């Protein structure tokens, strides 16, 4: 074998083979373009999407109406093989991206991926309920399978700068994103998760209680109180924005920098097997959003994260 062929063979062996589950979101084509197309703007090298399971939720119009179109694009433009089952997919790949726009099937999908021992990234929302989210992370920890979930908003440059200490410890932050609602999910899981993820990126863990109300123009407003009296607010808005105040000044946060920063983190995770977001932070983020729904049910009363987590951890009746 010539040196050139040997190098090509080694590089091919180093390429991470990725399988996708759930082809009902624009993320699948956007992510595959970034990963599979060397000419793509912001191309992330070192991996290739090679196979997928269609999925799709018949009771969510925005899911079932799109799955065939995205499937066709993956097949015809990127040569992705479509298979029938998660089990079959896992035999073909090194890593899995669960992309189903509906969070409800994520637990069963993740259960099968974890059982196969495959490293996995789960797109937002990590699950359809807080109980399911907790169970996903429990299964992964028990099996020793690396896992993480995140919105692309987490990895925006300005938000990461604050996360990494550019203005010192953050005492106050307010972020905004669209927050369209799907009746099958807790309100903020469907789209408000983006702005809430930005909020947790700069505030970190330690949220103690949540109050949900409305802005003057009737939009969702959720105020969290963090340990030490710090305050984090999510507001429904038309775009992605925010501000954080810390020990050393103020900075803009919450911007959307496209999908490339997230894709880069996912591929890095597949290579290093080190999650860039902890289970603790993701579970607390989803508890924050679940507590917001409970606060709404109670007419705007404060709801603690501790009671929300305790309720979610109770055995099913």
pLDDT in tens, 61-107: 989 999 999 999 999 999 999 999 999 999 999 999 999 999 999 99
CA angle 135, 141, 143 (to 5 degrees): 105
- Residues above pLDDT 90, as percent of the chain: 94
pLDDT of 108 higher than 70:
yes
Which pLDDT value is given to residue 6?
39
Which pLDDT value is given to residue 7?
39
254, 195 contact by CB (below 8 A): yes
266, 190 contact by CB (below 8 A): no
Q: Please give the backbone phi and psi of residue 117, each rounded to the nearest 5 degrees, phi first.
A: 75, 25
Which pLDDT value is given to residue 13?
53
The overall pTM is greater than 0.85: yes
Q: What is the mean pLDDT of residues 209-219?
A: 96
Peptide bond into 45 cis (omega under 30): no
The length of the chain in residues reads 317
C-alpha to C-alpha distance for 28 and 25, rounded to whole angstroms:
6
Mean pLDDT for all residues in the chain: 95
pLDDT of 2 higher than 70:
no
Token pair recorded at residue 137: 């992370």
Token pair recorded at residue 298: 């109670």
Nearest to 198 by CA among 231, 244, 129: 244
Which pLDDT value is given to residue 4?
44
Q: Which residue has the higher pLDDT, 12 or 305?
A: 305
Q: Please give the backbone phi and psi of residue 311, each rounded to the nearest 5 degrees, phi first.
A: -65, -40
Which pLDDT value is given to residue 11?
44
Q: CB-based contacts of 158: which residues, under 8 Å, 6+ apart?
A: 251, 252, 253, 254, 255
Model confidence at 317, pLDDT cuts 50, 70, 90, reads low
C-alpha to C-alpha distance for 293 and 222, rounded to whole angstroms:
10
Which pLDDT value is given to residue 62?
87
C-alpha to C-alpha distance for 215 and 32, rounded to whole angstroms:
38
C-alpha to C-alpha distance for 59 and 101, rounded to whole angstroms:
12
Using CA atoms, how far residue 268 sits from 91, 121, 145, 263, in Å, is 22, 11, 16, 9
Indicate the class that CATH gives domain 153-312.
alpha beta
CATH number of this structure's domain 3-152, picked from the four choices 1.10.730.10, 3.40.50.720, 1.10.10.60, 1.10.1200.10: 3.40.50.720
Which pLDDT value is given to residue 12?
46
Q: Please give the backbone phi and psi of residue 307, each rounded to the nearest 5 degrees, phi first.
A: -70, -30
Which pLDDT value is given to residue 14?
84
Q: What is the mean pLDDT of residues 45-71?
A: 94
Q: What is the mean pLDDT of residues 123-151?
A: 98
Break the chain into its structural domains and give their ranges: 3-152, 153-312
Model pLDDT for residues 230-287, shown as the tens digit of each residue: 999 999 999 999 999 999 999 999 999 999 999 999 999 999 999 999 999 999 999 9
């Amino acid at each position: 074998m010539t040196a050139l062929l040997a190098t090509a063979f080694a590089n091919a062996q180093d390429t991470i083979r990725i399988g996708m589950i759930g082809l009902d979101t624009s993320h699948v084509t956007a992510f595959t373009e970034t990963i599979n197309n060397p000419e793509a703007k912001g191309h992330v090298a070192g991996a290739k999407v090679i196979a997928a399971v269609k999925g799709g939720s018949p009771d969510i119009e925005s899911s079932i109406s799109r799955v065939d179109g995205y499937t066709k694009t993956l097949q015809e433009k990127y040569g992705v093989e479509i298979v029938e089952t998660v089990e079959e997919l896992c035999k073909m790949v090194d890593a899995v991206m669960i992309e189903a726009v509906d969070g409800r099937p994520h637990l069963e999908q993740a259960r099968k991926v974890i059982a196969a021992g495959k490293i996995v990234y789960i797109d937002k929302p990590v699950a359809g309920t807080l109980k399911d989210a907790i169970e996903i992370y429990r299964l992964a920890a028990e099996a020793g399978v690396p896992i993480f979930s995140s919105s692309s908003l987490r990895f925006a440059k300005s938000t990461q700068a604050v996360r990494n200490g550019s203005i010192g410890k953050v005492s106050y932050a307010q972020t905004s994103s669209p927050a369209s609602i799907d009746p099958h999910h807790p309100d903020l899981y469907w789209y408000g998760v983006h702005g809430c993820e930005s909020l947790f990126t700069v505030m970190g863990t330690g949220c103690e209680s949540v109050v949900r109300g409305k802005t003057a123009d009737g939009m969702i407003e959720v105020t969290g109180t963090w340990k030490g009296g710090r305050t984090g607010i999510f507001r429904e808005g038309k775009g992605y924005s925010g501000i954080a105040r810390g020990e050393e000044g103020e900075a803009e946060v919450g911007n959307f920098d496209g999908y490339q920063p997230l894709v880069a983190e996912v591929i890095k995770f597949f290579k290093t097997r080190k999650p860039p977001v902890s289970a603790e932070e993701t579970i607390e983020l989803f508890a924050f959003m679940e507590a917001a729904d409970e606060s709404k049910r109670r007419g705007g009363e404060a709801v603690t994260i501790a009671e929300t987590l305790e309720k979610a951890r109770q055995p099913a009746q």
